Amino acid sequence: MNATEARNAHRLGPVTLADDVQRRHALSFLVVAFLSIGLMIFVSVGQTYILNVNLGIPDTEQGGITGRLIAWTEVVALLLFIPAGILIDRVSRRGVYAAGFLLLALTYVLYPFAESVGELYLYRCTVYALGFVAVSGALSTVLVDYPAERSRGKLVALVGFLCGLGVAVLQGMSALPKLFVEHGMSEIEAGRAMHFVVAGLCVVAALLAATALKPGVPASARRRPSVRELFVSGFAEARDARVLLAYLAAFIARGDQAVNAFFLILWGTLAGKAAGMTPADALTAATLTMFVPAQIAALVWAPILGPFLDRFDRVTALAICMVLAAIGNLALLLLVDPLAAVGIVFFILLGIGQISVFLAAQSLIGQAAPTEKRGSVLGAFNVSGAIGILLITSTGGWLFDEIDPRAPFVVVGAINVLLFAASLYVRLSRPPKPIAAVPASGGGA
């Protein structure tokens, strides 16, 4: 292999890859990333359908139940992220990734057979929580491993684009029950069939992760820090103000994702039922009218944001992204009917804000995390995200039922404002870490 071929083997379009990552590894990761977030949060579609069709839960109770299901799942996740990060650091990125997808597949096989809310708690807090932790932890770690530093923002944006596209495509499967019913299935059978299709996709993702991603761990991680060191290192790194800020950004980024995934669809579904739609039609309307436009806006915005993340200090970028997220969330105070045509403007702003904070947080932690402890630091990063989901959704579920369906979004918007102030403080009090300039041959921004 000549010098040009060697350089090209470590490039993926405008993205320069880390020295030990080949183009085929990166291409496979993009496919797995496309499936990852969508397969994790599809549970929101299935859960809404099951609450309405299988269990017949009153509309006034669904917000609280949804919030508590998410909250208890995150309690379990809090206990698992650091052990999962240790496995990712010490054993295998792709092995943990594949196991997570198989656990998600099992979740989607079991979930539509739940005969009570108690069974939903059981499946979510055991099988789903394990799969969620494994997939999200491995996704974050591989995303940090694969790019060279000067291209980190570009790869983060590309993966964000594909994750958003995957979510939009997979959430579009909410139309499957209606199609199955039209072909003679009962509503319950149609919901089960929808879940089985998604379970099959989880198995496909597991096979791809297990066979096509780069095996093992990065060479610099083979110094094998002790398990005790790995366990405490994630939180110890928070002494760095930029790492701490990234953890706080994960808190709100993941909380924002959960609010969008669960309460946006639930808000639209209940509004559709109040307008006289069947549960299946209301779920489809909520997903396609509200959630999908937000995701499409996010995936269109992601590649626009990527070069910005590489060219500016990452804390500065995070501050600007917090402003975008605050606008998107707080603007919903002006929207009364979520299924009205004008709502698409609000959901576009919401999607742009949500993906901006997510990508900025990933870019910042990717720069700051030590190579040999990445799994553990990303574990602590994900713990922060889990705490965000736990607190925001548990509070948001109560506010959704008791105050207004827009209340969870207002909570997120208020926190966005606070973290904008925190970002300004860190930016002014800590000197920026230099970002390597992109070579002229690097494809530009």
List pLDDT tens digits, range 327-350.
Answer: 999 999 998 888 888 889 999 999
Mean pLDDT (the chain, rounded): 82
H helical segments located in 91-116? 93-110
Residue 11 maps to a domain: no
Q: What is the bridge-based pairing of β-strands 11-12 and 15-16? A: antiparallel
Percent of the chain with pLDDT over 70: 87
Secondary structure (3-state) at 13: coil
Cα separation, 157 vs 299, whole angstroms: 9
What is the enclosing helix (H) or strand (E) of 413? helix 407-429
For 18, 51, 65, 105, 255, the CA distances from 58, given in Å and listed in that order, are 52, 9, 10, 28, 25
What CATH code is carried by the domain that includes residue 183?
1.20.1250.20
How far is 110 from 430, CA to CA, in rounded Å?
49
User: Is residue 4 assigned to a domain?
Assistant: no
379 or 136, which is more confident:
136
d(Cα 136, Cα 154) in Å, to the nearest integer?
20
Return d(Cα 362, Cα 180) in angstroms, integer.
39
pLDDT at 370: 66
pLDDT confidence bin for 1, thresholds 50/70/90:
very low
441 has pLDDT over 70:
no
SS3 state of residue 294: helix
Amino acid 375: pLDDT: 66
Range from 4-13, 77-86, 203-212, 269-278 carrying the lowest mean pLDDT = 4-13
Of all residues in the chain, the percent with pLDDT exceeding 90 is 26
Question: Which of 187, 50, 177, 185 has the alpha carbon at shortest distance from 123?
Answer: 50
Q: What average pLDDT does range 59-78 have in this prediction?
A: 80
Q: Which residue has the higher pLDDT, 355 or 153?
A: 355
Domain that holds residue 129: 19-217+235-433
Task: Give the pLDDT score at 444.
Answer: 31
Q: How confident is the model at residue 445 (pLDDT cuts 50, 70, 90)?
A: very low
**Looking at the domain assignment, is residue 222 inside a domain?**
no
**The pLDDT of residue 3:** 47
Regarding pTM above 0.75, the answer is no
pLDDT given at position 382 = 77
pLDDT digits (tens, 9 = 90+) for 176-223: 888 888 888 988 999 999 999 999 999 999 999 999 898 866 555 445
**What is the C-alpha to C-alpha distance for residues 385 and 261, in angstroms, rounded to an integer?**
15
pLDDT mean over 232-258: 80
- Site of tokens 């800020």: 245
* Residue 432: predicted pLDDT: 56
Per-residue pLDDT tens over the stretch 383-395:
788 788 878 877 8
SS3 16: strand
105 is a domain residue: yes
Domain count of the fold of the chain? 1
Three-class SS of residue 445? Answer: coil
Whether 81 maps to a domain, the answer reads yes
pLDDT band at 254 (very low <50, low <70, confident <90, very high): confident
Please indicate, yes or no, if residue 1 is contained in any of the structural domains.
no
Is the separation of the CB atoms in 370 and 377 below 8 Å? Answer: yes
444 in a structural domain: no
Paired residues of 12 in beta bridges: 15
Q: H or E stretch including 152?
A: helix 152-171
pLDDT tens digit sequence for 292-325: 888 888 878 888 887 888 777 888 889 999 999 9
Using CA atoms, how far residue 213 sits from 24, 100, 114, in Å, is 8, 14, 35
Give mean pLDDT, residues 135-157. 83
The string of pLDDT tens digits covering residues 103-142 is 999 999 999 999 898 999 999 999 999 999 999 888 988 8
Residue 438 located in a structural domain: no
> Measuring CA to CA, which residue among 197, 232, 190 is closest to residue 82?
232
